[in-house]
Amino acid sequence: YDSSTERRKPLFDLLSRAGVAESGLEGLLSVSKTKSRKSSAEDWLRQADNLERNRLWAHAEKAFLKGGDEKRALEAGGRRLCDEAAVAPKEARSAAFHHAAIAFMLCASREPEERARGVSLVRAARIWCAAASFASSSRAAGFYARAGEVLRDGVDPPRLVDALSCFVGAAEQTPKDKMAWATAQGLAARALQDSGADAERLPGGLKP
């Protein structure tokens, strides 16, 4: 943070309005604190935790980076991009959601704990589906397919029904793409086999 009171004031006012300063950040932002010593990684991570609790994703993202926690920085960055996508012009939403999904994929790649990794992967898949809803048909098909691949191959156990929904969404965007329909059909058969159901119960368009 800048040691100049005037330069720091807009950020401090923003944090104060959000209730962060009252939670203890005021002391960390004081001129005397800034001049007395550099912030350690632990200081930055404490600030990042506080900022994250107050949903100040952009500031939390930077603080996590300065504290050396890339995984949590990516998660905060993904949430920031989702918030930005929600208020962006319609034509810009698809790209913002796409970048958010990538952030959560990268977050998952740095997560050592399997359950937490699965949470990030499922979140990425859902965000790609959101990206698809604002994209052109060809790009939407790609986003749905990526989401399906993550749910089929990335999580344990695979979420086959959700993956099937994504692959069907991809095929519907490009109805003449026989490969897309074949992928959906193959996954439908696998999902039914895993559940012990009868393939004859599938709709005609999805029977293998």
Give me the pLDDT at residue 56, please. 95
Which pLDDT band, with edges at 50, 70 and 90, does 198 fall under?
A: very low
Q: How far apart are CA 84 and CA 81, in angstroms?
A: 5
Which pLDDT band, with edges at 50, 70 and 90, does 47 fall under?
A: very high
User: Would you report the helix, strand and coil content of the chain in percent, each value rounded to 5?
Assistant: 80, 0, 20
The radius of gyration computed from the CA coordinates of the chain, to the nearest angstrom, equals 22
Name the DSSP class of 110: T
pTM of the model as a whole: 0.71
Which pLDDT band, with edges at 50, 70 and 90, does 193 fall under?
A: low
Q: Are 44 and 76 in contact (CB under 8 A)?
A: no
Mean pLDDT highest for which of 11-20, 27-36, 190-199? 190-199
Q: Residue 2, Cβ neighbours under 10 Å: how many?
A: 11
User: Hey, what's the torsion of the CAs at 21, 27, 32, 37, to 10 degrees?
Assistant: -120
Which pLDDT band, with edges at 50, 70 and 90, does 27 fall under?
A: very low
**Sign of the CA dihedral 161, 163, 169, 174?**
negative
